[in-house]
Structure 1
Amino acid sequence: MSSAVARLQTARSSSPKKILLPDLVSHCTFKLRINRHRKQVTTETKKWLFKDGNLMGKKRAAYHGLKCGLLTSMCYPDAGYGQLRVVNDFLTYLFHLDNLSDDMDNVGTLTTADEVLNSLYHPYTYRSSARVGKMTRDFYKRMLPTASPGTQQRFIETFDFFFQSVTQQASDRAAGVIPDLESYIELRRDTSGCKPCWALIEYANNLDIPDEVMEHETIRALGEATNDLVTWSNDIFSYNVEQSKGDTHNMIPVVMNQEGIDLQSAVDFVGNMCKQSIDRFIEERSRLPSWGPEIDRQVDIYVNGLADWIVGSLHWSFESERYFGKTGRQVKATRVVELLPLRV
């Protein structure tokens, strides 16, 4: 155990047994909408995930409590059935990968990355019996017919970044390393898996935005502000479960370690960063240039899709059982979280 981890465990043992969450829901004024295909897509994705007896017992129960179909429907409210189904399959699969990577060393993540990326780059020719490869090829082949070339490229590239970052995360976990805040933020923007989801906003809404527009500094800044809100708020919401497992790949212990502050002060610190990221998104959106009527129309849809992710992820976090069990709505109302004991 590293000295930093030891200090955090000591600090945690002397901390209060509850924390007060920041009020991020009230700070976010974007309209929450839900896709009309939610129930049908949720049913079909469950069949897809559970095919061949995959996920049994507690893992299957955890999937039902995840309510991924609700997240997808909140974040892609205007998608047609076919696109929403592909996106929901991907997000479900991404949560599955995230759970797997929590228990992997860097060799395990590299092996999984090899399966997934070969399946994406060669969906019609790569052959592997590994289930993760089969699932990858299955949803990606359904995405290809209507995804623009730029969307396909952005999806694969950012998913590659995801695997590179979770490999680094696995190395840090094995070494008991707690990174500084700047390094953590840089890594977290990729371990979140958000960037491929932004490419799916293009896919879900049948957009074909030129590469030079997607690479414009304002568009990139909007994606980054959204990523920061989604991931930093997720670190707050998931902290209780993660601290009970001794996991320190979370912004709250990073801030406690770097700033030398207590748990509640770190929660407040990260909460303020989340509020600033929403404010940053609004400010950047006001700076959008014009590229002509048709591209401006598509950019508006894309940017609204980012706003849907901000408001959707915040509300879904309290509906899902992933972070607060069955008490999510109570936590949403009171913002009080009772800390779980550290697992032996």
Structure 2
Amino acid sequence: MTPIATYTITSSDSELAGFILPDLFSHCRYPLRVNPHSHLVSCASEQWFFTEAHVVEPEITKFRAFRLRDYNAYCYPDADASHFRNISDFLNWAFMADDYFDDCDIDDIKGMRECCISALRDPISFQTENPLGKICKSFFSRITATAGSSCTERFIHGLDLFLIAAAKEIDNRAMGHTYDLESYTALRRNSTGIKCCFALIEYAAQMDLPNEVVSHPVIKAMEDAVSDYTAWCNDILSYNKEQSRHDTLCNLIAVLMREQGLDLQGAVDYSGQLCKSAIQRFEDNRTALPSWGEELDRQVAIYIQGMLDLAVGSLHWALILPAILGMMGRS
């Protein structure tokens, strides 16, 4: 693969080293699209979030430096202003929650899960003083106003899996557990929270796909491919930060180095090949899609486009932040 950049590895207890990034664009050639409501909606969403979550400087500046508004706009380019606002509120919350996990123990995560899932199950009546729970209650009460019942259940299930995976990561880290590629992939398909993002594709398009469509093996295989691609690209780009703080337990490159005895560049190259194979899996399954009739096929096409937007949007967002990615951990 053609190299696109070189990262220098900096670590207090090792000599300087480096690795060449794989060309992630060579196999992810889908067009990048941008939501036209991004600027106004993102400003309002961020200000609301800072107030509700009690975020103050310097955290505000740090949060804005990650340019999540670009990520949101890339991943949901077709959402109208109202739906895009609610999606942005959730994604801002999810980013902050993921950052919060770094300082949590198992009991913290269990308490957060109970609070947040309760807020999602009854966003009107549920009462809490937990800021993250209150934010869940707020954005989800607005989402459920227009979301279909199946889409709503898929979102709740995805968020529950996200919180369960966060607790499992913390427990595994405390126990010194290491992963092979299979177990690591299974965990990452939940720990990124992307299952919530899949449900939000339906929400943004004001659809409510039947369960028999979304649970079809071909659709699930396409979801898994996009989930793997976005997670693995993130792992490649965040490896420098994670190794510098000695926290590579949950990183694809480190998993491959441990499991297969590869050196750093070998593991990076292999990671790039896995990203390429994920895109190929997606395309292979797209050619095997069954038909559910004209109207459902139209909606499935929108859903598939939404998955592509998540893949290409995640990649472009990561690669416009090379300086920040040198300082950041996995998201």
Same fold per superposition (TM over 0.5): yes
Aligned to 2:276: 275
Q: Does 1:285 align with 2:286?
A: yes
Q: Does the residue aligned with 1:298 lie in a helix, a strand or coil?
A: helix
Amino acid at match of 1:297: R
Instruction: Write the distance in 1 (CA, Å) between the matches of 2:143 and 2:48.
Output: 15
Looking at structure 1, the residues matched to 19 and 210 of structure 2 have their Cα atoms a distance apart, in angstroms, of: 45
Whole-angstrom distance in 1 between the partners of 2:53 and 2:217: 46
Pair 1:239-2:243 in alignment: no
Which one-letter code corresponds to 2:50 in the other structure? F
Contact 1:15–1:262 (CA under 8 A) maintained in structure 2:
no
| d(CA) in 2 for partners of 1:20, 1:108 | 38
The structure that is helix-richer by fraction is 1
Task: Tell me: CA distance 1:14–1:51, structure 2 relative to 1, closer, same or farther (3 Å).
Answer: closer
Give the match for residue 260 of structure 2: 259
- Counterpart amino acid of residue 26 in structure 1: S
Question: Residues 155, 110 of structure 1: CA spacing in aligned structure 2 closer, same or farther, 3 A cutoff?
Answer: same
Identify the match of residue 323 of structure 2 among 315, 322, 325: 325
1:149 corresponds in structure 2 to 149
RMSD, matched Cα: 1.7
CA distance in 1, matches of 2:207, 2:152: 12
* Residue 119 (structure 1) aligns with: 119
- Give me the whole-angstrom Cα distance separating, in 2, the residues matched to 1:57 and 1:263: 37
Equivalent residue for 1:308?
Answer: 309
Q: 1:15 to 1:252 in 2, by over 3 A?
A: farther
* Unpaired runs of at least 5, structure 1: 1-10, 329-336
Q: Distance in 2 between matches of 1:290 and 1:109?
A: 41
Residue identity opposite 1:312 in structure 2: G
- Once the two structures are superposed, residues 183-210 of structure 1 have per-residue CA deviations (whole angstroms, 9 ceiling, x without a partner) of 1111111001101100000000111211
Distance 1:158 1:90 in 2: 13
Distance change in 2, residues 1:264/1:148 (3 Å): same
Q: 8 Å contact 1:225–1:280 — kept in the other structure?
A: yes
- Are residues 1:26 and 2:26 paired? yes
CA 1:97–1:256 in 2, change beyond 3 Å: closer, same or farther?
same
Q: CA deviation at 1:57?
A: 2.5
Deviations 1:197-231 (A, max 9, x none): 00000000111211111111111111110000001
The aligned amino acid for 2:138 is: D
Match of 1:333 in 2: none
- Count of matched residue positions in the alignment of Structure 1 and Structure 2: 316
Deviation at 1:148, TM superposition (A): 0.6
List, as ranges, runs of 4+ consecutive aligned residues in structure 1 with deviation greater than 4 Å: 11-16
**Cα distance, 1:24 vs. partner?**
0.6
SS state at 2:156 partner: helix
Q: Describe the superposition over 1:54-111 as per-residue Cα deviations: whole angstroms up to 9, x where unpaired.
A: 2223321121111111111111111100111111111111110100112211111111
| 1:136-169 deviation line (CA, Å, top 9, x unaligned) | 0000011011111000000001111111111110
> What displacement does 1:49 show?
1.3
Deviation sequence 1:314-336 (CA, Å, 0-9, x none): 1110224xxx335x7xxxxxxxx
The answer to whether the aligner puts 1:250 opposite 2:248 as a matched pair is no
Deviation at 1:243, TM superposition (A): 1.3
Secondary structure in structure 1 of the residue aligned to 2:178: coil
Cα distance per residue 1:114-143 (max 9 Å; x no partner): 111111011111111110111000000110
SS at match of 1:27: coil
Q: How many angstroms apart in 2 are the aligned matches of 1:18 and 1:62?
A: 26
One-letter amino acid matched to 2:149: P
Give, in angstroms, the shift of residue 36 of structure 1. 0.3
Is 1:181 matched up with 2:181? yes
Asked if the contact 1:25–1:315 (Cα under 8 Å) also holds between the matched residues in 2, the reply is no
Which secondary structure does the structure 1 equivalent of 2:19 belong to? strand
Matching residue of 2:93: 93
Matches within 5 A, 1:61-140: 61-140=61-140
Report the 3-state secondary structure (helix = DSSP H, G, I; strand = E; otherwise coil) of the residue aligned with 2:147.
Answer: coil
Any stretches of 5+ residues in structure 2 without a counterpart?
Answer: 1-10
Question: Normalized against structure 2, the TM-score is what?
Answer: 0.92
SS of the residue corresponding to residue 238 of structure 2 reads helix
Alignment pair present for 1:203 and 2:197: no
1:52 deviates by: 5.5
- 2: CA distance, partners of 1:138 / 1:19: 44
Change in CA separation of 1:149 and 1:179 when aligned onto 2, cut-off 3 Å:
same
Q: Offset of 1:180 from its aligned partner?
A: 1.6
Shift of 1:26: 2.5
Using the TM superposition, give the Cα deviation of residue 53 of structure 1 relative to its aligned residue in structure 2, in angstroms: 7.3
| Equivalent residue runs for 1:163-182 within 5 Å | 163-182=163-182
8 Å CA contact retained: 2:202, 2:208: yes
Give the C-alpha shift of residue 13 in structure 1: 5.7
* TM-score for both structures, normalised by structure 1: 0.88
Check whether the contact 1:15–1:263 (CA below 8 A) recurs between aligned residues: no
Distance 1:219 1:15 in 2: 46
